[in-house]
Structures are given as structure tokens and as C-alpha cells.
Structure 1
């Protein structure tokens, strides 16, 4: 397994623990850092496939690094690990196009699955995060009212990690039609055009679909 990874966390035990665990699983840890500036510089210099970042670090937070990577069109995929369950932090992570959002208490159990999802372009978020947010915000997102019945069917299938070809097969329509619907949905929801944006949005709202 040649997946290259940079890990950053200002808690040495967490940093060492994740590094040792992922190394034992065959991942290539090419750099580590205990602060945000060092982490971002490593991402720019080494161009890892994935960066696993603590959200709250000195100098630059994980969110600020994710924002900088998006702004500068860096190809490294971001996974955030955190103790935070605040909704605004989670929404910021979605806005910056992160691929994974994992609670630290479940990091060892979930990180390998999260990386596997990330490598094939599928977002992964701790189920505990989704459960917490749904418990604290049970109202159906108003943005869903903007979508047609056909678009809602497609969003639901996207939340189940279906590809455009899968969706075409399920709905008995062409891939071209699916892609046209996807484009319309992205426009209506005011998402950016990154391939993962709609998948992340659908995943975070799957309980309402």
C-alpha cells in the first residue's frame, strides 16, 4: 500500500498512536507535525495523498489548513479528527470540502475505514457526529424544498454512495441524465463544483431524505 499520509496533532500521544497504528496497517506516513503551520508546509512540500489533521492546533487550525488547501487547489484530501461536536465547526468542515470528520475517541476504530472511503472519493463521517447533530437539529433542511422528486431520489442514492452509473441503473435513465440532474442539484444547493461536495452534503442530510 503506497498511500502517502501526513499526520498533525498537538497531542504527542495521539500523534504517535495514529502514526504507529497506520504504519502497522501498511500506510506510508511521510511526515508529522504538532502545529498547523508545520503541517500545512508539509502538505505543500510533500503533496501527500491524505492529511489527517487535528482541528484545534496552534498557529493554524485543521479547518484553516483545509480552507487553504481548497483555496490553493491542492490535491491532498483532508481528514479531520476532533473532540468537537459543535454544529458550526462541522458545517465549516463541509464547506471546505473535507473527506472525513472523526471524533478522537473513535479515531483508531474508524480511521482505516475513513481512509479507504477517502481514497475512492467517498466522504466518511463518524456516525456519532451525525446522531448528535440530528438529535440537536431535527428540522428538515429547507434546501430540500428546492429539489424536485426526481432530484430527491438522486440525492438519496448519492447518500448511499451510489455512482452515476449505479443511479442510472436503479432509475432506468441514462448516465448523462443523472449527471444533468447532479449539476442542477449542485446549482440549487449553491455547492461548489468539486466532485465530493454533493456527496458530502447528501451524506450529512441522509436522515432527512
Structure 2
């Protein structure tokens, strides 16, 4: 069965473009909205697998919706589309467990890749955003010194979008051992336990690994 999706954007052309494009690709579009309030109501009512949300919308922003989804433990995974590359907004997206973060100018090109990542519980975000954040943080994070060789190897594999099972196979250890390493890494890096946090951190700091 194709993934169920709700789409929200306050630009009617963008909304229609994305809706038509994804419908033509066979996705199950449950509903669409032009403001954050209606978008959130649709998510609560229809419980889509994925919500594709513009960050800046009237009544509720995409970030505020992501925060509500997380707070109320709703099963929907949030993908944000945005023109914003600000680190602060990006950090908030990370904090609210956002699964995808793509730039509007690449939305149509990247949305299918993004959805397929999210369907497999893998976060996805535009390379442009990662590159921008890397240029803005050229200092090697001090926390990396706290990691052991094995932990560094695991963080590197996480930055390559590898799952715990794939990492376990590659390092000839059990997935349980990988998960144990993961939780040690999270606590050393002072990150929360969301599936997206370590992936995003490792991608931004990939050049230092």
C-alpha cells in the first residue's frame, strides 16, 4: 500500500504542484491545507504516515506542528520544506524529531528520495543544508575526543545512512552491541534518543570523522 501523506503550504501553486506530482507518482494524498491550523487538524484526524509541511504558514508554523506531533506522540513523521538555512531553525527541527528537511527550490527533485528515506526510518535532508551548516561550523567538535575508536567507526557509518543491522554486519558484531554503542555515543555527545539526532549530527560533522 502506498504511503499516506498530508501536504500543507500557504503558497497555492507550491501546494498544487507537490500534490499533483506525488499523486501522479501513486502516493496516497489524504488531504492538503493552506495554513498550519488546518494542517495539524488533518494530521490528528487522518494520522497520515508522513506530513510534508512548509515551515512558514499562518496560524501554526511547520515547526510548531512538528512540536505538537512529538508532544502528543502522533505516529506521523514530519518533512519540512523551506527556504531557510538558519542554524537555529535547523536545531529546532532536530529537537522536534523532524525526519526530513528539504529546500523549496529542490522540493520536486528531492521529495521522492526524501519520502523513501523516511519510509525506511532514515532521516533525509537537502545536501545544500548540510553543506551550508558545515561551512558555518568549521571547528572540530570537542565531544569527538570523548568517543572511542569503535564509536567513531559507528558514527561514520551512521553518517553514511547505515542502519544498526547494516553496521552490525559490516563490523561483525550484533545489532544489540551497535545499539549499546549508540546509546553511549548519544550520552557522550549530549544528544537525545531520537532516530534523527545522531544521523544529523554525524552528517554535519562528517568531515571531522
Q: TM-score range, shorter-chain basis? A: over 0.9
2:174 corresponds to:
174
1:53 corresponds to:
53
Structure 1: runs of 5+ lacking an equivalent = none
1:130 corresponds to:
130
- Choose 79-88 or 157-166, whichever is displaced more: 157-166
Q: What's the CA shift string for 1:107-161, capped at 9, x where partnerless?
A: 0000010000000011111011111111222112233233222111111111112
2:92 corresponds to:
92
Matched ranges for 1:97-116 at <5 A: 97-116=97-116
Q: What's the CA shift string for 1:8-67, capped at 9, x where partnerless?
A: 000100000000000000001111111111111110110000000000111110011111
Tell me if the contact between 1:94 and 1:201 (Cα under 8 Å) persists in the aligned partners.
no
Tell me if the contact between 2:55 and 2:81 (Cα under 8 Å) persists in the aligned partners.
yes
Which TM-score applies when normalising by structure 1?
0.94
Aligned residues: 209
Counterpart secondary structure, 1:188: helix
Q: State how far apart, in whole Å, the 1-side matches of 2:180 and 2:56 are.
A: 39
Counterpart secondary structure, 2:32: strand
Q: State how far apart, in whole Å, the 2-side matches of 1:183 and 1:10 are.
A: 39
Matched ranges for 1:19-98 at <5 A: 19-98=19-98
Q: State how far apart, in whole Å, the 1-side matches of 2:82 and 2:168 are.
A: 37
Counterpart secondary structure, 1:26: coil
Counterpart secondary structure, 2:30: strand
1:147 corresponds to:
147
Tell me if the contact between 1:7 and 1:53 (Cα under 8 Å) persists in the aligned partners.
yes
- Choose 164-173 or 19-28, whichever is displaced more: 164-173
Counterpart secondary structure, 1:97: coil
Q: What's the CA shift string for 1:54-101, capped at 9, x where partnerless?
A: 001111100111111111111100000001111111111111111111
CA shift for structure 1 position 164: 1.8
Considering only aligned residues, what root-mean-square deviation do their CA atoms show, in Å?
A: 1.4
Q: What's the CA shift string for 1:161-198, capped at 9, x where partnerless?
A: 21222222222323222111011112222322233332
2:117 corresponds to:
117
- Choose 185-194 or 97-106, whichever is displaced more: 185-194
Tell me if the contact between 1:9 and 1:15 (Cα under 8 Å) persists in the aligned partners.
yes
Q: State how far apart, in whole Å, the 2-side matches of 1:82 and 1:146 are.
A: 34
Which TM-score applies when normalising by structure 2?
0.94
